[in-house]
Structure formats: C-alpha cells, structure tokens
Amino acid sequence: MISGFDMHAIVGAAVRQACSDLFSTDLAEGQLQLQKTRKEFEGDITVVVFPLTKMSKLSPEATGEALGKHMTDHAHHISKFNVVKGFLNLSMSAEFWKGFFSDALSNDDFGFAAPNSASHVMVEYSSPNTNKPLHLGHLRNNFLGYSVSEILKAVGHRVTKVQIINDRGIHICKSMVAWLNYGNGETPESSGLKGDKLVGKYYVEFDKAHKAQMKELIAQGSTEEQAAQQTAIMQQAQEMLRSWEARDEETIALWSKMNSWVYDGFASTYKAMGVDFDKLYFESNTYINGKEEVEKGLASGAFFQKDDGSIWIDLTDEGLDQKALLRKDGTAMYITQDIGTAILRFRDYPDLAYQIYTVGNEQEYHFKVLFKILKKLGFEKAEQCYHLSYGMVELPEGKMKSREGTVVDADDLMHEMADVAREVSAEQGKLEGLAETEKNALYDTIGMAALKFFLLRVDPKKNMLFDPKESIDFNGNTGPSVQYTFVRTQAVLRRYAEGNSGFHPKNADFTNYAMNGAEADVVSKIYEWPTVLRGSASSYNPADIAHYCYDLAKLYNTFYHDNQVVREADEHARHFRLALTYKTGAVIREGMRLLGIGMPDRM
C-alpha cells in the first residue's frame, strides 16, 4: 500500500495507542483483528472488539465506544465510528481518501512490486501430449498458468514459464501405428489439416481399430481386460515403444516427423491464445533422468523390484498405494519422467525457490505420489513443489473424450468466440460506425476476452460449465462488459482532451473538492487493488482479479450515470472526475492484462 495511506497500519497504531492510554495495557500478539466493514454498515474498516474486553474489563459495546471515541479524538485520518455489538466500525477521513487517491494517481506502478524483488518461481502449464491437438481443457490450463505467472511477476517474483511436452510413450506410439496402418503417407500439406489435428485424427483411428479388435477377441472367449492388452494393434504400439526406447532409427525418424507436425500446430494455437513460455522440457529427454533416479532409488533401498523385473515404490505407510516406476521390460512410466523433470529443473535453476504444476484435479493423486517419491529419494527440495489443481471444464452435453474424438478443439472454439462476438455485437449495435477491418480485429479481441474471463472468473478448484453465449454478454459479469467500461473511460478522456490539449488527469487539482458517495465508492475500490493483487498471488487465484475488475467497472458505471464529467461546470469537480476516470481505466487495464486480456480503445 502507498506509504502514509495504509489503513491497516494507521488503525492498528491507533488501537494500540488507545489501549495503552485507556487500559494501561499493550496489545498481545493476535489480539488485534481488523477486517473490511460489511456492506450493510457504515465504515471502511472494522476492529473486532471481543479479544480486547479482558484488558478493558468492559462489555464489548462499551469497549468499542471507548476505543472509538479515543481514536476519533486523537488519531489522524479516523473521522467517525459506530459500534455494532462487538464490532467497532471506523470511517477514514475525506483527507485520507483524497491524499491516497492523489498519490495513487501519480504512481504508474500502483499496486505492483519492484521487478525481481521476490523469489524465483517456476510455473508449468499446458504440458500437452503430442498425439492430439489442444482442446477446451487446455485453454483453461493455459490461461490459468499464464495468468498466475503474470500475477506472480506483478508482486515481484522472477518467474520462469515452462511446459513439459509429453512427446514419448504409448500415446504417441498409438498415433504412429495408426498412421502407418491407415495413413497412406498423408501429411499436413496433402490433407490441408494442421499437424496436431492430423496426428490427433490417427489417435482416434487407433481407438476405433483397437475397440473393433477387442470385440472380436471377447467374442472368442477373452475377458475385456485380456482383450485390451492382446489386440494386434495394441501389440504393435507396445513393440513400437520398445523400439523407440532402443533408439531404432526408423522408429525415431517417424516419431520426429510426426512430432514436428504437432509442434507447428501447437505454435499457431499458442499464438492465438496469447501465451508463451521461457523454456521447454521434453519428456523424451527427461525420462532418461527419471530412469537414472529410479535406479539410484532401487540401489538405496527406497524402491523395490518385483520378480518380473518391474521397479516399484511402497507408499502404503504414507496412506497411498504401491506405485510402478519402471515396467518389467524396462520402459518408463509417466511418473518416471516427472521424477527426472522435477530434479532437473532445480539443477537448471539453482536459485529456484519453488515450482508450480498447473494440472487438472484428476491428477491430484499422481502429484501426491510424485512429491512423496522425491522425498523418499532424499531430494531436499521435494517440499518446494506445488500442484495447482483445477477443475474440469464441461459442456452442456457432458464430458469430453479425446480418444473418441468428442473434444472441443481449442482452435475451433477460439474462432467460434469471434463469431459469437460478431453476432452479439450486431444484435446490440455496439460496433456501429467502425470500418470492417476494425470490426474484425475487435471481434477477435472481444471473443478472446469473453473466453479468458469466463474461464478465469471461476475459482480454479471448481469444475465449471462453459457457455459461449453467456460469456460474451455485454451486460453481465464478462470480459466484454469490463472491456466496454474501459472503452468508456478512454472515450471520456479523449472527448475532454479534444478541447483541452494541455490538461492531463494526473495533474488535476481537486484540493478543495468534496467527494460524493458514488465517487468515494470508486476511490475505495481502487484502494483495494494492491490487497486483491497480493491475495490473488498468494492463493494462485486469478478469479479474485476477474471479480475485482468487474466490481470496479460496475462502480464506475454507477458513478458515470449519476454524474457529469466532461460537461461538469465546477472545475474542481470536473478535474477530480477526469482523474477518477483516468485511474479507473488504468487499474482495469492492468488487472485485465494480468488475466491475459487485451483492452480495445474503441467499441
């Protein structure tokens, strides 16, 4: 908070002084409890009085009255008080709010910490498999990981954004086998498909063939479990995995070719998403580190080997199960590369304080096991790994299934959101008067704002239902609604600047102006920005910022509808309102930027 205008510090000091003067007692640790005043009561900040009654020897109400009178009589910036049962509600003075706002107005980095003033953090997100294109679930993952990264930067952390590309394993072998069996040499160029979509097509083809062959085996007397492992096409995929780990030249060449198609496809999707990465890790490299660590764990006694040659860890004493780490044929499991990757990252970045894995909640057990394994291996930074678990995104028709080809493709959805923006804008006449090229650019900007805001406004821990039409409502709790308010602030400032080119809101003089209620509400909300930002960073929850931006926009709209700005006759009022408009727009722009959302200048 801006020095000199930290409400908690001012009130805390005033309570301590009052307790000393009135009750001849110093506050003990934990006795001072401050919270935001509830909306139904007058006040800005509330002192919880109950813990103070032991020293006052008075009832909660009498204690509150005594403290409130002392603080309004002696403390700078505390103007009024009221007591509701055991709660002392305090109002800050008009001078406090004007002084705060004046300082915030002049501070372009209001709410932000100095770059690299906090520890080094790594955030992993996206982490796709190279056997299919990115889908709706990946959108939530990418938007969440990117936003958390930007929020952590905003509070001073040095952030390294990474992804682990799952480019090996049975999943890519399935696509490779299906392409060999049914592809007839098809390429992205010959098919007209993005590379990731082409490879994903053959992942679906594998599943179709596998199920058909299972059906035949079951009809011949096999159990479903036996049939799942015994189909000819599954045997081919498992043999291909063994060939790949043996570095068979032909297998590696096919793997490299098909993965290159996928990488080209991913790159264009990430560009459309507006996300990026500082470093890429590849499972095809890190699984080797993982196998080495597993062998070390076996030698140290942390792991054990079964008669068939497979290597396991027993975590039953930790309330978990036994977990396979290497198959009986020596090939790596999914967790093998995660072991290697976790250790490798801390070696790559010795100053790394901790790493955050942005992965869906269906993998919570996996990460519990991973972190326990790292601890069993004696890895000293095992407890500096955190799983940022998030809920699934579902559609009205239910859960997506990539093997069956029923996922919502990320590229298709982003294009669809631009189309929805076009449709809704046409219905509401929001973009009348703009050239067609400007409209098309705005449709993309509005569509992406709708998508990102809708996916980020929900607490990451919760599952959610995605509704494209609802996400783009200009009058709801949506990205386009916040964008529209931002555009309104810019339009007001442009309109005034046309006849007052020498004026800048940062230089506004409102010394002799008394704020009205709507204006004070906006200033009070702006005051909350640093606290909201820090809270969002500590909880890895961009939803806090999304809700804050919407609430600030809503309060500004109420102010705007009730007050003249450009046409206000009183110069002090006009200048204050222009300054309020300027700072509101600046805070909204920065808040939305941390969500990865761009702000148009006109709508």
**Per-residue pLDDT, 140:** 96
- State how far the Cα of 408 lies from the Cα of 136, in Å rounded to an integer: 6
Residue given tokens 């200033």 in the structure block = 523
Say whether 11 sits in a helix, a strand or coil: helix
Answer yes or no: are the C-beta atoms of 304 and 317 closer than 8 Å.
Answer: no
The token duo for 109 is 């980095």
The three-state secondary structure class of 353 is strand
pLDDT of residue 430: 64
- The owner of tokens 């107005």 is 105
Give me the pLDDT at residue 4, please. 77
Mean pLDDT across 506-524 = 92
pLDDT score recorded for residue 404:
45
pLDDT in tens, 572-598: 999 999 999 999 999 999 999 999 999
Q: Which of 511, 512, 514, 549 is nearest to 529 (CA)?
A: 549
β-pairing, 279-282 with 158-165?
Answer: parallel
pLDDT band at 3 (very low <50, low <70, confident <90, very high): low
Confidence at residue 401, expressed as pLDDT on a 0 to 100 scale = 46
Q: Give residue 513's identity as a one-letter amino acid code.
A: Y
69: its two tokens: 């009178």
Average pLDDT, the chain: 93
Superfamily of domain covering 7-92: Arginyl tRNA synthetase N-terminal domain (3.30.1360.70)
The CA-atom distances, in angstroms, between 304 and each of 301, 309, 347, 371, 392 are: 7, 10, 26, 18, 35
Q: Are the C-beta atoms of residues 304 and 314 closer than 8 Å to each other?
A: yes
Could you tell me which residues come within 8 angstroms of residue 554 by beta carbon, excluding any fewer than 6 positions away? 485
Tokens standing for residue 456: 């980020």
| pLDDT value at residue 196 | 96
Q: Is the separation of the CB atoms in 194 and 572 below 8 Å?
A: no
Q: Fill in the amino acid letter for 33.
A: Q
pLDDT for residue 484 is more than 80: yes
pLDDT of residue 30: 85
Residue predicted with more confidence, 71 or 510 = 71
Sheet-wide strand order for 385-390: 279-282, 158-165, 120-124, 352-360, 385-390
To which H or E segment does residue 120 belong?
A: strand 120-124
Q: Tokens 């960073």 appear where?
A: 537
Q: Is the pLDDT of residue 398 over 60?
A: no
Mean pLDDT, rounded, for 214-231: 95
The whole-number average pLDDT for the span 551-567 is: 97
pLDDT level of residue 1 (50, 70, 90 thresholds): low
Contact 313, 303 (CB under 8 A): yes
3-state secondary structure 141-199: HHHHHHHHHHHHHHCCCEEEEEEEEECCCHHHHHHHHHHHHHCCCCCHHHHCCCHHHHH
Specify the pLDDT at position 124. Answer: 98
pLDDT of residue 425: 76
In this prediction, residues 235-240 reach a mean pLDDT of 96
- Please say whether the beta carbons of 245 and 255 come within 8 A: no
Q: Which residue has the higher pLDDT, 330 or 278?
A: 278
**pLDDT of 400 strictly over 50:** no
How many Å apart are CA 525 and CA 522, to the nearest integer? 5
Domain ranges in the chain?
A: 7-92, 125-394, 411-594
Contact 343, 289 (CB under 8 A): yes
Q: Which of 596, 476, 505 is nearest to 545 (CA)?
A: 596
Note the pLDDT tens digit of each residue in 339-383: 999 999 999 999 999 999 999 999 999 999 999 999 999 999 999
Q: How far apart are CA 333 and CA 249, in angstroms?
A: 22
Question: How far is the C-alpha of 575 from the C-alpha of 564, rounded, in Å?
Answer: 11
**How far, in Å, CA of 444 to CA of 479, rounded?**
13
Higher-confidence residue of 429 and 341: namely: 341
Structure tokens at 519: 């204006």
Give the angle 293-296-301 at the CA atoms, nearest 5°.
125
Structure-block tokens of residue 531: 């606290």
Structure tokens at 156: 């001073």
pLDDT in tens, 24-70: 999 988 899 999 999 999 999 999 999 999 999 999 999 999 999 99
Distance CA 276, CA 394 (A): 25
Q: What is the pLDDT of residues 166-215, one digit of tens each?
A: 998 899 999 999 999 999 999 999 999 999 999 999 999 999 999 999 99
At 90 the three-state DSSP class reads: strand
Across-strand partners of 160?
A: 122
pLDDT at 402 over 50: no
Residue written as tokens 């050239």? 435
Confidence of residue 329 (pLDDT cuts 50, 70, 90): confident
The CATH number, out of the four listed (3.40.50.620, 1.10.730.10, 3.10.450.50, 3.40.50.2000), of the domain defined by the range 125-394: 3.40.50.620
Phi, psi of 126 (to 5 degrees): 75, -80
Q: How confident is the model at residue 502 (pLDDT cuts 50, 70, 90)?
A: confident
Two tokens, residue 414: 């982003």
pLDDT at residue number 2:
64
Q: Return all residues near 87 (Cβ < 8 A) that are at least 6 apart.
A: 41, 46, 47, 48, 49, 64
User: pLDDT at position 466, please?
Assistant: 85
Q: Which fold has domain 411-594?
A: Isoleucyl-tRNA Synthetase; Domain 1 (1.10.730)
Least confident segment among 28-42, 245-259, 468-482: 468-482
Residue-wise pLDDT for 254-267, tens only, equals 999 999 999 999 99
How is 15-56 classified by DSSP, letter by letter? HHHHHHHHHS-PPPTTT--EEEPPTTSS-SEEEE-GGGHHHH
The continuous run of DSSP H or E covering 389 comes out as strand 385-390
CA torsion 165-322-311-259 (nearest 10°) is: -20
From the list 546, 550, 545, the residue with the least C-alpha distance to 531 is 545
